[in-house]
Amino acid sequence: ATQPTHAATQWAVPSLATRCATLRRAGHHGAMDFALTPALVELRERARRYTVDVLQPVEAQFERDHGVLSTALGNDLRKAAIQANLHAGSLPKAVGGQGWTVMEQVIVHEQFGQVTGGLWSYVPGAYNVLLHCDPVQRRRYLDPSIRGERSGSYAITERDAGSDPHTIAASAVLDPAAGEYVLNGEKWFVTGTDDTDFMVFHAIVVDGEQRLPTLFLVDYDSPGLRISHDPDYMHTFADRHPQFVLEDVRVPAAAVLGGVGQADQLTNEWFVEERIHIGARCSGAMERLLTLAVEWATSRVQFGQRIYDFQGVSFPLADSAADAAAARLLTRECAWLADSGADPKVVHARASIAKLFASEAAFRCADRVVQVFGGRGYMRENPAERFFRELRVDRIWEGTSEIQRLIVARALEKRGVGRVVGEA
């Protein structure tokens, strides 16, 4: 059957590749300068105040309550984010977002990374793939997400399809008589906060011999959609990661997001953005961990002297300080490249480098800081213990460290060493 086409939208923003090409043509290859402008400093401080004054006071009780947050408190966190103009930062102003550059996103996520519990998930926003909504989809999904009234999840991973999306078995078959698609599949690790009520469902549209990866917008209350398992994980997070089963779920052809066969391209753009954000949050986590460790080690006295004066304590912290500085620079450089119009394939590789290094370094840092605190570091009321459990997943989700290495290795061969590790 002929697949329905997805109507283009006049307000949809261009892809990363298109934006980069436009910037290159406009000559936006200025000198690399990481000095924060007054506007960036103001944004950083605004994000810091929200993180320190609004989110951090919640984190210890959130842990004691095993990741349960009252609806009223969750709404308060969302409202405070909106009042601080921190919501929908990566989305353009044309759709109600903040229109931040990638560097501005990084500056904010560095602050979000300094809270445990993943409480930054309560900041309203939406996946960048929702920029491809048509006007009707926009009113139903994107607009209320920006207002903090709805929240979506991204359903890609399956029991037998993890790092290799080409093995996805979830299917979408068109019923031409009804003008509907019939969706079937099982999805794992479908991440979302307590108010999540729809998903972006990655499925394969079967059209004769063709297998067309396609995204669908699916409401959680759709007949045939159910949660099959909601397991607990190492971390105590604002986001849960349940498993869903879709059995003959019928959605209208208008539920296609971004066009039939476009899922891989759209999902890849989301991965690049998320990897940059992860790098930034890991940098922020290391800053807080080191701050806590230095404060403790310089005040704790054993054997007649500060434990900070023992090289076994201070040297690992020095190593993590070097890691934190490098992670921050790698992530900000990737942001600068994206904003200055670099080749998006180079930006893709640099995002993988930033995510790989920052996630591995942050976990090492958390391990070292727990050791500095000794028995106190093993207590869940200590942020170091919570970071130790939480940062582990950054080496797995949005592409494992092994996948990041594969992306970088391929880029070295295809793009050249100089472009991947040096010049843009």
Distances in Å between the Cα of 335 and the Cα atoms of 340, 357, 360, 412 are 9, 15, 19, 20
Q: Which residues of 18-27 are buried (b: 16+ CB within 10 A; e: fewer)?
A: ebbeebeeee
Please report where in the chains the tokens 């998930």 appear, as a residue: 121
Cα–Cα separations (whole angstroms), residue 99 to 6, 25, 42, 87, 95: 25, 21, 16, 10, 9
- Contact between 36 and 44 under an 8 Å Cβ cutoff? The reply is yes
Q: How far apart are CA 125 and CA 105, in angstroms?
A: 12
Structure tokens of 187?
């999805």
Instruction: Report the alpha-carbon distance of residue 280 to residue 389 in Å, rounded.
Output: 18
Kindly state the tokens that stand for 375: 């028995």
Contact of 356 with 408, CB cutoff 8 Å? yes
- In angstroms, the CA 413 to CA 31 distance is 27
Rounded-to-integer distance, Cα 374 and Cα 97, Å: 44
Q: Alpha-carbon distance 47 to 61, whole Å?
A: 21
Has 104 been annotated as catalytic?
no
Q: Nearest 5°: CA angle at 395, between 201 and 269?
A: 40
Q: Interior CA angle at 191 toward 185 and 195, to 5°?
A: 105
> H or E element: which one contains 61?
helix 56-64
Q: Compute how many other C-beta atoms are within 10 angstroms of the C-beta atom of residue 70.
A: 10
* d(C-alpha 366, C-alpha 114), whole Å: 12
Burial class (CB in 10 A: 0-12, 13-18, 19+), 220: middle
Buried b (16+ CB within 10 A) or exposed e, 136-157: ebbebbbbbbbebebbbbbbbb
Q: Which one of the listed residues 390, 398, 413, 423 is annotated catalytic?
A: 398
**H or E segment at 56?**
helix 56-64
DSSP string of 255-320, one letter each residue: GEES-TT-HHHHHHHHHHHHHHHHHHHHHHHHHHHHHHHHHHHTT-EETTEEGGGSHHHHHHHHHH
Q: Give the residue numbers marked as catalytic.
A: 398
